[in-house]
Structure 1
Amino acid sequence: MEQQAFVIALVGILGIGAQWVAWRTGWPAIVLMLAAGFLAGPALGILDPQAAFGDMLVPMISIGVALILFEGGLSLDFRELRKYGGGVWRLVIIGVPLGWLLGSLAGYYVAGLVWPVAILFAGILVVTGPTVVMPLLRQSTVQQRPAALLKWEAIVNDPFGALCAVIAYEYFRYVGDGATMVEIVPPLIIAAVIAGLIGYAAAWIIAWAFPRGFVPEFLKVPVLLVVVVGVFVLCNAIEHEAGLVAVTVMGIALANMNVASLRSIHPFKQNIALLLVSGIFILLSASLDFAQLRQFEWQFGLFLLALLFVVRPATVLISLAFSSVPWNERLFLAWIAPRGIVLVAISGLFALRLSDLGYADGSILIGLSFAVVVTTIVAHGFTINIVAKWLKVRGESRPGLLIVGATPWTIALAKQMHGISTPVMLVDASWLRLKPARAAGIPTYHGEILNEATEHNLDLTPFNVLIAATDNEAYNTLVCSEFAPEIGTDSVYQLGEGGDDGDHRKMPASLRGRALFASGFSVADVHQRQMEGWVFRKTKLSDHFDIEDAKGVLPEATNMLLLVKPNGRMRFFTHASAPEPQAGDVVISFSPPGKKGEEESAAARRAAKAGAAKVQTA
């Protein structure tokens, strides 16, 4: 038991540690996780998952893959499919059988595998899988359409690849008894359909029960996880690997049933998926056996090259021929196809079964599947951003700013940020309020930011910072509270609450975003000062002109708002923290028009207060 606890703790440390290093360095997380597991496992002998968990290892990994597929299905909305569905269906309907055929030919003629093993292995190879594609997309800057096509292909093709392997295995299992494809394939398809119906029924029950209060809030996540695992195990009992079909259908169905209560569990299920992906990758690479690697022959190297440069490109280019997908995006999709844990898990399962049927090449599948995983992850992980840049499908690489609320103050801020090449988007539900921003050439989005449809109509990926600055302070707080789990609590901002009067109306600090300006300017404060002539200014710092020099040339009442690092990262001056400006930074400040302007604005504020006092006295 102590050994198992040590392995679990070490897997967690290595997996999340690799994710953190990837975040700090920008290296592909999946490559770092593979390297960490390999070093701890076969290289140093510290980690041996098979010895620690024994026969429980495969079921554990299978259930983890099922939960990852379900979580991936929850991210697939049919409204997104309506935009990119033509490419998705081509990659599934044409791409799966075509990839299976080309992979089989490469396995037989290039790798030298016998036909049964080559056909079965090629069926598994149609899988890319969310365990590798999602982390890759999370750390890359790929435009919305190719990213969506990769995501849909990875999640939808996962169960199809497993079914291809099952069909091949069942055929070679019974072919000696005179069975034909007509006798073998229909029952497997029926089993897959039944599994899909079970998954849909489970999703319908969840969608019916949760909003009606049949499950309390604190039990919704545990109930959902238990139902997913139960559906997976039940459908696997009907037919091998049919559980993958069931959980994928369950996730997609649930995502499109408009269950409002599921929004509250999205951060949790994303965290679960991240932990599972990290743990499974560490277990995968730590389970690698040098004895299996020694079976690697020179033909297998040629097979990997054929897989990268012939099979995948031909599959994608033929599948998307005469489609609306542009050529540069087709070429990008033709290159990116990393394989992950599903390939190794299914290959390991069928390798043993093929050996039992008398196919000697069956045992080779485990080492070959590891070689495919390592090669594709390293090749695609390190080149995805480079290829995306070459083919002009790369999204914004500089951190972006999302501003909610079109007011004169936010439009002035957006102009300033747009002028220093920071990606900025101004969101408002009023065409009239957005008109000055559109006239100034600022990117805008007309719509309600809290509307669920906005998630699918507006790509939020490029935006790392959010500022909610509408005239309604309660609404700003709601926006910050809604987006804090996705963008980060340290990256959602709103203006302060102003003076001491009206404390009873102040929003709880736990719900609010971080307050802009160290002075705590409120919405009314910035609007009043802008009417008095206050403006945004940018100041470039250098080795000979530091922040103190900048303060010396700016009006005395100037308030620093943020600084922009050379790489585009934004750091804000708040009441709680102040970044340390350095040479090369650009400081954005909000200040009076000048010394004279400051005196005039101060006099105007005194006059305004005096007038308000007279009104109250009267």
Structure 2
Amino acid sequence: MEHHLSLILISIVALGVFSQWIAWWLRMPAIVLFLVSGVLAGPVFGVVHPTEDIGEVLSPMVGLAVAVILFEGGLSLRLHEFKEAASGVKRLVSVGAVLSWALYTLAAFYIGQLSMAVSLLFGAILIVTGPTVIIPMLRQAGLNRRTASYLKWEGIINDPIGALLAVLVFQYFVLAGADAADGAQVFVDLGWAILISFVLGGGVALALGWAFNHTWVPEYLKAPLTFAFVLVIYGVASEFFAEAGLLAVTVMGMVMGNLSIAGMAELRRFKEYITILLVSTVFIVLTADLDPNVLLHLDWHAAALVFAVLFVVRPAAIFLATAFTDMNWRDRTLVAWIAPRGIVAAAVAGVFGPRMVEAGYGGAEQLLPLIFAIVFSTVILHGFSIGRVSRWLRLSAEPNGVLIVGASPWSTELARALTNELNIQVLLVDSSWHRLRTARLAGVRVLYGEVLSDQIQQSLELNEISCLLAATSNDAYNALVCSHFVTSLEHDRVFQLPMYAADEDNESKVVARPLRGRPAFHENAQYEELWRKHFQSWQFYKTRLTEGYTREDFRRDCPADAVIIATLYADNTVLFNAAGASPRPEEGDTVIYYAPKKSATERRRARAERAEAVSERAAAAQNAEREAPTPDGPRTTDSDAQADHTANRNSPNSD
């Protein structure tokens, strides 16, 4: 039995993590693969039966996992985001929650034909738009920070509030009895639960922050101690009031996330890793535990109710709640559509549904299948559509920008060439206003300040950044910048200027390799060398590859001492070239390189040689076509591609 349980747990964890990996590889919402993997492992093939295999421990395990997930979600709620979207967020978590409860209840009663008691519980559960689903979606959707903050704040705040309200409704109708209890007591209990949660969660967060900053806790114990306190707070608050623990740990995360705590970056990273593991595992457990027979309780009333929830009730609640706020119509439209339900909604329905059936309330047997139908529908529809809808509404932040840290004559010229000649969004950051002057006059976007400061971090839209280059004269500082941004931008998109080979051989003089970014451009592209080339009148050139001018043609014509800087791909994303790497641009891509300035005669001769080579290749192709049998359909030649290339070569600073 023990061996069997070990295999079940290993299978669940492996399915969850591999689903995340495959989703990243396929660029699709991970939550959809969780859903598919859980259904295949449980109801379809019967490999996993969580309730039977794990037993009574399953429910508390899920509760503890959700508590950790909500704490990590609270850590991600930053006050500067709230200030940017304060008006809309306040309405979404207050008026929006109340309107949603009322409208969902009415829809369940009149459309779903449920009893009023079950309808009220149904409406309370659907207030939840859980972070277990929202956060993975936002990670892949690429929304701008303001729009993402609406969905993130609503999901994380309303998740415990909806669960608490569901508990109160359940207690009112089942435990206390509708006739015996005073309806106003529901709201009194809710107030007490919120007060207890804020006192416990906020108090422990402040105490931990003080202890961390006064070195009462060693660095290696900060993350484990925080993890232990999350579980303790969840348990203590839940003893006072069922599900109050979820709100308490959310408050604890919010307070800690907005304190200036030493080592907070490591704490966030640890919690993010744990949360990714828990989200994937718990969602697969819940979907694998789904009994297909519960869907047999659904009829056309249920289908109409699911349709109304998705396409009528949610949009109506959001548009009414956010009226006369600073949210524009695009933000309101996206928020009105995106409302996926996840672990908390499924778990609450799984606990309360059967007990409502035992109490004899009409339609209670449909509560669990209805919630699962909405979970399935929202995860699939919203997961696959959030990217397309956000792009249609122009709310997505396209990751095609470049962040350059360190203004020098060379980096300023690079920023100017990328901005003015290739229309790449470049942001040049430096702590010296004087060093930024030339870039400002050249029309380059600049940001004055320390890039590692809290203020600059809050103003950066990292969703818009494709890659980063740390280009200051200080190798250690460049490494520090890269190590800070590597978790946000991925290691293959964080670059720094290379160090001298002599320094590389002396390990006591250089920053350890795991702490650095990727060396950029060429092993001889150090700060001093690039500065020297700049004053020797080297220039940036660009060449677009076409059908008539291939990668091999470019390699033949490119000067031997040229430094390949970056590739602008056909999809308008840009990536710097790594030292030692051999770029492989394809047709439609543009190569940016740095080379000595050419005279007008050299440029004319190079263009003539290329035109002659292309003409010879085109003539050879035409001869081959004349000798070959004529197929049906029109023929194409290299003339269009050559014209495109010739026009490109006549542009400024083009080779």
TM-score range, shorter chain: over 0.9
Q: Partner of 2:37: helix, strand, or coil?
A: helix
Query: In the aligned structure 1, how far is the partner of 2:185 from the partner of 2:600?
Result: 91
Aligned counterpart, 2:10: 9
Aligned counterpart, 1:242: 244
Q: Counterpart amino acid of 2:497? A: L
Query: In the aligned structure 1, how far is the partner of 2:519 from the partner of 2:598?
Result: 26
Describe the superposition over 1:234-255 as per-residue Cα deviations: whole angstroms up to 9, x where unpaired: 1111111100110011000111
What is the 5 A alignment of 1:351-390? 351-390=353-392
Query: In the aligned structure 2, how far is the partner of 1:501 from the partner of 1:264?
Result: 29
Query: In the aligned structure 2, how far is the partner of 1:6 from the partner of 1:421?
Result: 54
Query: In the aligned structure 1, how far is the partner of 2:211 from the partner of 2:492?
Result: 35
Kept in 1: contact 2:498–2:522 (CA 8 A):
no
Kept in 1: contact 2:404–2:426 (CA 8 A):
yes
Q: Partner of 2:511: helix, strand, or coil?
A: coil
Query: In the aligned structure 1, how far is the partner of 2:236 from the partner of 2:150?
Result: 30
Kept in 2: contact 1:207–1:257 (CA 8 A):
yes
Describe the superposition over 1:179-205 as per-residue Cα deviations: whole angstroms up to 9, x where unpaired: 212344313421331122111111112
Query: In the aligned structure 2, how far is the partner of 1:580 from the partner of 1:284?
Result: 45
Q: Counterpart amino acid of 1:552? A: R
Aligned counterpart, 1:123: 124
Aligned counterpart, 2:531: 527
From 457, 471, 477, the equivalent of 1:455 is 457
Kept in 2: contact 1:498–1:525 (CA 8 A):
no
Q: Partner of 1:519: helix, strand, or coil?
A: coil
Query: In the aligned structure 2, how far is the partner of 1:16 from the partner of 1:401?
Result: 31
Q: Say yes or no: does 1:546 pair with 2:538.
A: no
Query: In the aligned structure 2, how far is the partner of 1:546 from the partner of 1:18?
Result: 38
Describe the superposition over 1:508-531 as per-residue Cα deviations: whole angstroms up to 9, x where unpaired: 323221111233311111011011
- Give the deviation of 1:596 after TM superposition: 11
From 186, 191, 210, the equivalent of 2:188 is 186
What is the 5 A alignment of 1:252-267? 252-267=254-269
Could you tell me which runs of 5 or more consecutive residues in structure 2 were left unpaired when the two chains were aligned: 603-655
Question: Which deviates further from its counterpart, 159-168 or 508-517?
Answer: 508-517
Aligned counterpart, 1:446: 448
- Give the deviation of 1:578 after TM superposition: 2.6
TM-aligned CA distance change 1:19 to 1:416, over 3 Å: farther
What is the 5 A alignment of 1:499-510? 500=502, 505-510=509-514
Q: Partner of 2:403: helix, strand, or coil?
A: strand
Q: Say yes or no: does 1:581 pair with 2:585.
A: yes
Aligned counterpart, 2:172: 171
What is the 5 A alignment of 1:123-272? 123-173=124-174, 174-272=176-274
Describe the superposition over 1:87-114 as per-residue Cα deviations: whole angstroms up to 9, x where unpaired: 1111111011110000000010011111
Query: In the aligned structure 1, how far is the partner of 2:92 from the partner of 2:204?
Result: 27
Query: In the aligned structure 2, how far is the partner of 1:16 from the partner of 1:176?
Result: 45
From 295, 298, 301, the equivalent of 1:299 is 301
Q: Counterpart amino acid of 2:521? A: F
Structure 2-normalised TM-score?
A: 0.87
Aligned counterpart, 1:516: 520
Query: In the aligned structure 2, how far is the partner of 1:44 from the partner of 1:453?
Result: 52
- Give the deviation of 1:554 after TM superposition: 2.8
TM-aligned CA distance change 1:47 to 1:558, over 3 Å: same
Describe the superposition over 1:203-250 as per-residue Cα deviations: whole angstroms up to 9, x where unpaired: 112111112222222221111111101110111111111001100110
Kept in 1: contact 2:212–2:262 (CA 8 A):
no
Q: Say yes or no: does 1:590 pair with 2:581.
A: no
- Give the deviation of 1:485 after TM superposition: 2.7
TM-aligned CA distance change 1:116 to 1:176, over 3 Å: closer
Query: In the aligned structure 2, how far is the partner of 1:452 from the partner of 1:388?
Result: 28
Aligned counterpart, 1:537: 541
Question: Which deviates further from its counterpart, 147-156 or 280-289?
Answer: 280-289
Query: In the aligned structure 1, how far is the partner of 2:28 from the partner of 2:185?
Result: 49
Aligned counterpart, 2:85: 84
- Give the deviation of 1:576 after TM superposition: 4.3
Query: In the aligned structure 2, how far is the partner of 1:48 from the partner of 1:454?
Result: 49
Query: In the aligned structure 1, how far is the partner of 2:178 from the partner of 2:367?
Result: 22
Query: In the aligned structure 1, how far is the partner of 2:395 from the partner of 2:22?
Result: 26
Kept in 1: contact 2:81–2:146 (CA 8 A):
no
Q: Partner of 2:263: helix, strand, or coil?
A: helix
Kept in 2: contact 1:428–1:434 (CA 8 A):
yes
Q: Say yes or no: does 1:395 pair with 2:397.
A: yes
Aligned counterpart, 2:72: 71
Aligned counterpart, 2:481: 479
Kept in 2: contact 1:69–1:244 (CA 8 A):
yes
Count residues in correspondence: 597
Q: What's the % identity of the aligned pairs?
A: 39
Q: Partner of 1:461: helix, strand, or coil?
A: helix
Aligned counterpart, 2:21: 20
TM-aligned CA distance change 1:573 to 1:82, over 3 Å: closer
Q: Partner of 2:515: helix, strand, or coil?
A: coil
Describe the superposition over 1:327-377 as per-residue Cα deviations: whole angstroms up to 9, x where unpaired: 121111111111111100111111133223222532322111110001011
Kept in 1: contact 2:523–2:580 (CA 8 A):
no
Query: In the aligned structure 1, how far is the partner of 2:156 from the partner of 2:539?
Result: 49
Describe the superposition over 1:470-492 as per-residue Cα deviations: whole angstroms up to 9, x where unpaired: 23222212111222233222321
What is the 5 A alignment of 1:18-57? 18-57=19-58
Query: In the aligned structure 2, how far is the partner of 1:36 from the partner of 1:415?
Result: 48
Query: In the aligned structure 1, how far is the partner of 2:38 from the partner of 2:583?
Result: 37
Q: Counterpart amino acid of 2:352? A: F
> RMSD between aligned alpha carbons?
2.1
Q: Partner of 2:461: helix, strand, or coil?
A: coil
From 258, 267, 291, the equivalent of 1:289 is 291
Query: In the aligned structure 1, how far is the partner of 2:141 from the partner of 2:79?
Result: 24
Describe the superposition over 1:61-118 as per-residue Cα deviations: whole angstroms up to 9, x where unpaired: 1111111110010011112212211111111110111100000000100111110001
Question: Which deviates further from its counterpart, 318-327 or 13-22?
Answer: 13-22
Describe the superposition over 1:455-508 as per-residue Cα deviations: whole angstroms up to 9, x where unpaired: 222211221321100232222121112222332223211111235379564333
Kept in 2: contact 1:405–1:469 (CA 8 A):
yes
Query: In the aligned structure 2, how far is the partner of 1:328 from the partner of 1:218?
Result: 45
Question: Which deviates further from its counterpart, 453-462 or 219-228?
Answer: 453-462
TM-aligned CA distance change 1:64 to 1:423, over 3 Å: farther
- Give the deviation of 1:450 after TM superposition: 0.4
TM-aligned CA distance change 1:399 to 1:105, over 3 Å: same
Could you tell me which runs of 5 or more consecutive residues in structure 1 were left unpaired when the two chains were aligned: 599-618
Kept in 2: contact 1:571–1:579 (CA 8 A):
no
Query: In the aligned structure 2, how far is the partner of 1:407 from the partner of 1:86?
Result: 41
- Give the deviation of 1:546 after TM superposition: 3.1
Q: Say yes or no: does 1:340 pair with 2:345.
A: no
Question: Which deviates further from its counterpart, 171-180 or 361-370?
Answer: 171-180
Kept in 1: contact 2:172–2:178 (CA 8 A):
no
Question: Which deviates further from its counterpart, 530-539 or 480-489?
Answer: 480-489
Query: In the aligned structure 1, how far is the partner of 2:575 from the partner of 2:460?
Result: 24
Aligned counterpart, 1:349: 351
Kept in 2: contact 1:555–1:594 (CA 8 A):
no
